[in-house]
Amino acid sequence: MASAAPATTVIAKTFRSVATEADAVFAGTVREVRSYRRDDDRIWTAVRFGELRWLAGGSGEETELEFAGGQVGDRAEMIGGMPRFTVGQRVVLFVRDAPSISPVVGFHQGCYALRETGAGDIVVTPDARPVRAVDGDELVLGESGGEDGMSLDAFAEVVAEMRRGRSNP
């Protein structure tokens, strides 16, 4: 059974905005995904990440984030634009510390995947487009499924450079 809910409105952000609004940025592997009901009977999903590499802020070998929505038994609460995770998935996330229905900046806009290629890991968008470069405030993307993307190291350098000039504390 799915619950009816109002539509989600996600305001488009530049990549620079995503990078500078984040309190922390990390690459990691999804270790556990579990949904549960809170006291107010709303469903939330906790996602535990391991094998972390902190690109900005944060520390530790693991972290857990909570997202509104999920499925418990035959009851599901899904929120449009909310990232969904599977165990074993390797991701790069831009997150905020402030309480919210999603800790990821801009919902899906602050969520990237890592894809293994013959030349090493590359950063890709949720729709499998490789991040090739950054032009001003925006990402330059390759074709879906392509292997011509930025390495995690190169991506981390771009993020660090953008964050050095950020106006947010």
Can you give the residue ranges of every domain in the chain? 15-164
CB 110 within 8 A of CB 18: yes
15-164 in CATH: which number?
2.40.50
Q: CB within 8 A of 67, min separation 6: which ones? A: 44, 45, 46, 47, 79, 82, 83, 101, 102, 103, 104
Against a cut of 0.75, is the pTM above it? yes
Q: Categorize the per-residue pLDDT at 130 as very low, low, confident or very high, splitting at 50, 70 and 90.
A: very high
Q: Categorize the per-residue pLDDT at 154 as very low, low, confident or very high, splitting at 50, 70 and 90.
A: very high
Partners of residue 77 on adjacent β-strands: 70
What confidence tens digit (pLDDT) does each residue in 2-58 have? Answer: 545 555 666 889 999 999 999 999 999 999 999 999 988 899 999 999 999 999 998
